[in-house]
Structure 1
């Protein structure tokens, strides 16, 4: 009996310790406590609210990798309704993009344009473009692809491409902000903020298509075309 009493005492002590740990460490607590509450909603509703928040924001910063047309691009772009500005890297080349309205500008070093030291004409043409903004004609094949990197509406629409049925996943964190994951049953994941507006904060494309983080939601910025002295006309300069 004495042994039994000790066992009961030990059990009660253990239960007390467990309760203490639960209270102090928050084990078993509501993961949505103190949040905006979207984590408790059905996946379709969370997705709808995230879309609305993203569409309603005046601006956003988007950074990470995108695989497009068989090529991998690293982006760091600031986007708003009428255009965007930022840096793109691919295959060891880095260039800047700036779009204001329908006007797209690209700025890069001479190496980007394939300067050939053995070809005087090629080298001279590349040097004319070195460090200058090149206005890309809308008829150029690269216009459509590169302008897409500066288009807030287009890039944000891609965030909501999750393969298969969309389900609510784990509670996580992105940059210290608590999130709820939306997972496609066949691939892709989107982290939605549980603080303030339910903005998308991270997107992982299915099939290794890249990962993007989104920040600075609603933090507007000035977007203006470069001075004429900083621009060369692509159509009249390249190849000369």
Structure 2
């Protein structure tokens, strides 16, 4: 058996043994930024700038969580890239799918969703129209109010540009972890202006956002991972021309 050295060397050896065998021992120093991309040592404003640059340079991302806007809560699970997006949105009206390929936007929902939309519009249900749309990809006309409303959920640049903003004075708030990845957290106005967890591994992508004033929480993953978008089959598509039956 190897003898443990005495004095200062003995304390050093004990510290090393503690790290190897049982994690960090009180009194053993460690650098939380060791082996990271280094952004954890930067000022909060610089971290925000770098994470925005990383997000802007990415070709794709998956975004999931909740967004509160104009008093309405939307739960999103979207995969986005510059040429389009696919995913689902859940609102008070129910769940619906979105697919955008270039300028073509499709909305897919069940009959209950369309009936709810009719009720919100004029207080009456149209079961026949809802039945025709049930489970179909409905091509949303570019001039329809729904196009502007829903296409924002499918536009990577617009969506990230509007979301990745902290309000007020910026500061760092320690090292954290998101889905197994080490992060540095930055805050606006000590958290009341939102918090953003930024990856300390690889590029400094944003990984989690808690928006100001309880306006939702989102996670970001699959940064720069390519995915394919396919046009729905003609048999699965309904084109209502100039305006949806319940816009």
**TM-score normalised by length of structure 1:** 0.85
1:234: Cα distance to partner?
A: 2.7
Structure 2, unmatched stretches of 5+, are 1-6, 119-124
1:157 matched to 2:161? The reply is yes
Change beyond 3 A, Cα 1:239–1:33: closer
Deviation at 1:70, TM superposition (A): 1.0
Instruction: Quote the residue 2:51 is aligned against.
Output: 50
2:187 pairs with 1:183: yes
Aligned to 1:233: 239
Query: Which among 160, 173, 176 is matched to residue 172 of structure 1?
Result: 176
Structure with bigger gyration radius: 1
Aligned pair in 2 of structure 1 residues 220, 176: CA closer, same or farther (>3 Å)? Answer: same
1:26-57 deviation line (CA, Å, top 9, x unaligned):
35411101111110112122111111111111
Residue in structure 1 matched with residue 80 of structure 2 by the alignment: 79
- Asked if the contact 2:209–2:217 (Cα under 8 Å) also holds between the matched residues in 1, the reply is yes
Q: How many residues align?
A: 223
- Gaps of at least 5 residues in structure 1 are 1-11
In structure 2, distance between residues paired with 1:84 and 1:105? 10
CA RMSD of aligned residues (A): 2.6
For residue 20 of structure 1, what is the aligned residue in structure 2? 15
159-168 or 58-67, which moves further after superposition? 159-168
1:219 to 202, 225, 228: 225
Aligned counterpart, 1:5: none
CA deviations over 1:82-120 (Å, ceiling 9, x no partner): 11000111126010000111111000001111179xxxx
Corresponding residue SS for 2:154: coil
Match in the other structure for 1:104: 105
| TM-score, with length taken from structure 2 | 0.82
Residue 127 in structure 1 maps to residue 131 in structure 2: yes
Instruction: Give yes or no for contact 1:93–1:112 (8 Å, CA) kept in 2.
Output: yes
Contact 2:144 2:242 in 1 (8 A): no
Q: Shift of residue 236 of structure 1?
A: 6.8
CA distance 1:221–1:42, change in 2 (3 Å): same
